[in-house]
């Protein structure tokens, strides 16, 4: 498969994995391993970033995985920026998945606060991957100020509903000048494959793996779904052929 390039870094895998909700660290690691992922997101609020002994961090091999701290729990730009700075101060690479989710029920991202935080963090030298609703104009505004990707949601976090925002994501993909990561709501390998077939650059999955009967097996299944979707996209999908039925030919005037 062709490499994924984010902010100049190359990755073989186009599947990013989140680390929340797993029944145990062992189950989490098994799912990461089988998924083939190289980037894992970690909620800053969940870990003691200063302490290498933190049980979750201790299980993640930093040689193997790029740790992508996320700011989940932040309710506004100020909180998100503060969290990102803390992570960097603790020695994390300056990569941040920016999440600003003031609404605790659906965890939908706040576009205004996300944009404000992204502006600040980009200026401070962070590689910013913002989590957004599937809003093409917001995606363009963020790309313009220098975010490394855009991460539109397929459905609200944790719902496993699949690509409910398909039409909007298609527009974002069509117009993007940075990689598009479809993030949130993907509940089955077929959802991930669908996003990849549309031309998404990669997907991020967490709940679907964490709550699966067998997270490790589901990690492997998602890996295949992502690869199949990418290969299909590169191969060039056809659609059901619609024969043009001309009542009066438009090019009859051309006489060679």
Partner 1 sequence: MTFLDTISQYNYHDVLARIEAKTPADVERALAAPQMRLDDFQALLSPAAAAFIEPMAQRAHRLTVQRFGKTILLYAPLYLSNECTNGCRYCGFNAHNRVPRQTLTLDEIEREAQVLHDRGFRHILLVTGESPRAVDNDFLAAAARRIRHLFSAIAIEVYPMEEPGYRQMVEAGVDGLTLYQETYDRALYAEMHPFGRKRDFDFRLLAPERGGAAGLRRIGIGALLGLGQFRSEAFFVGLHALHLSRHFWRSHLSVSFPRMRPADGGFQPLHPVSDRDFVQVICALRLLLPDAGLVLSTRESAVLRDNLLPLGVTQMSAGSCTAPGGYTGGEESTRQFTIDDDRTPAEFARMIQSKGYEPVWKDWDRAFMEKTEIGV
Q: Judged by CB under 8 A, does residue 250 bind partner 1?
A: yes
Q: Judged by CB under 8 A, does residue 246 bind partner 1?
A: yes
What distance in Å separates the CA atoms of residue 135 and residue 45, rounded to the nearest whole number? Answer: 27
> Is 97 part of the annotated catalytic residue set?
yes
**How far apart, in Å, are the Cα atoms of 75 and each of 19, 91, 99, 109, 246?**
21, 24, 9, 9, 56
**How far apart, in Å, are the Cα atoms of 49 and each of 58, 100, 124, 158?**
10, 20, 20, 25
Min dist CB 95 to partner 1, Å, is 21
123 burial type by CB count under 10 A (0-12 exposed, 13-18 middle, 19+ buried): exposed
Sign of CA dihedral 189, 220, 31, 201: negative
Question: How many residues line the site for partner 1 (CB under 8 A)?
Answer: 23
What distance in Å separates the CA atoms of residue 54 and residue 58, rounded to the nearest whole number? Answer: 6
Contact 24, 214 (CB under 8 A): no
Instruction: Return phi, psi of residue 129, to 5°.
Output: -115, 95
Min dist CB 98 to partner 1, Å, is 22
Set 21, 64, 97, 161: catalytic member = 97
Which 8-state DSSP code applies to residue 3?
P
What distance in Å separates the CA atoms of residue 96 and residue 69, rounded to the nearest whole number? Answer: 5
Residue of the chain from 199, 215, 225, 229 that contacts partner 1 (CB under 8 A): 199
Residue of the chain from 63, 104, 105, 241 that contacts partner 1 (CB under 8 A): 241
Stretch that binds partner 1, among 76-84, 91-99, 217-225, 241-249 (CB under 8 A): 241-249
Of residues 24 and 175, the one with the C-beta less far from partner 1: 175
Of residues 125 and 243, the one with the C-beta less far from partner 1: 243
Min dist CB 195 to partner 1, Å, is 14
Min dist CB 255 to partner 1, Å, is 8
Q: Judged by CB under 8 A, does residue 244 bind partner 1?
A: yes
Q: Judged by CB under 8 A, does residue 254 bind partner 1?
A: yes
Stretch that binds partner 1, among 71-79, 85-93, 104-112, 171-179 (CB under 8 A): 171-179
Q: Which of 74, 69, 80, 67 is nearest to 107 (CA)?
A: 74
What distance in Å separates the CA atoms of residue 84 and residue 192, rounded to the nearest whole number? Answer: 28
Of residues 105 and 253, the one with the C-beta less far from partner 1: 253
Q: Judged by CB under 8 A, does residue 8 bind partner 1?
A: no
- Active site members: 97
Binding residues for partner 1 (CB under 8 A) = 140, 170, 174-177, 198-199, 236-241, 243-244, 246, 249-251, 253-254, 256
């Amino acid at each position: 498969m062709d490499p994924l390039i984010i902010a100049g870094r190359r990755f073989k895998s186009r599947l990013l994995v989140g680390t929340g909700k797993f029944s145990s660290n062992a189950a989490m690691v098994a799912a990461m391993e089988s998924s083939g992922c190289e980037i894992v997101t970690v909620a800053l609020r969940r870990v003691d970033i200063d302490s290498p002994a933190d049980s979750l961090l201790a299980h993640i091999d930093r040689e193997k995985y790029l740790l992508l701290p996320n700011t989940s729990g932040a309710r506004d730009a100020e909180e998100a920026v503060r969290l990102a700075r803390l992570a960097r101060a603790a020695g994390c690479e300056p990569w941040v998945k920016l999440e600003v989710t003031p609404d605790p029920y659906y965890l939908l991202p706040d576009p205004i606060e996300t944009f404000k935080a992204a502006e600040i963090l980009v200026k401070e030298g962070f590689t910013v991957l913002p989590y957004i609703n599937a809003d093409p104009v917001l995606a363009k505004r963020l790309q313009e100020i220098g975010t490394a990707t855009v991460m539109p949601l397929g459905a609200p976090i944790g719902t496993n509903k699949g690509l409910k925002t398909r039409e909007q994501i298609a527009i974002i993909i069509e117009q993007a000048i940075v990689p598009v990561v479809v993030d949130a709501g993907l509940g089955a390998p077929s959802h991930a494959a669908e996003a990849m077939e549309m031309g998404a650059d990669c997907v991020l999955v967490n709940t679907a793996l964490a709550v699966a009967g067998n997270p490790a097996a589901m990690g492997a299944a998602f890996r295949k779904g992502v690869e199949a979707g990418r290969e299909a996209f590169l191969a060039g999908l056809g659609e059901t052929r619609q024969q043009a039925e001309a009542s009066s030919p438009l090019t009859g005037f051309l006489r060679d």
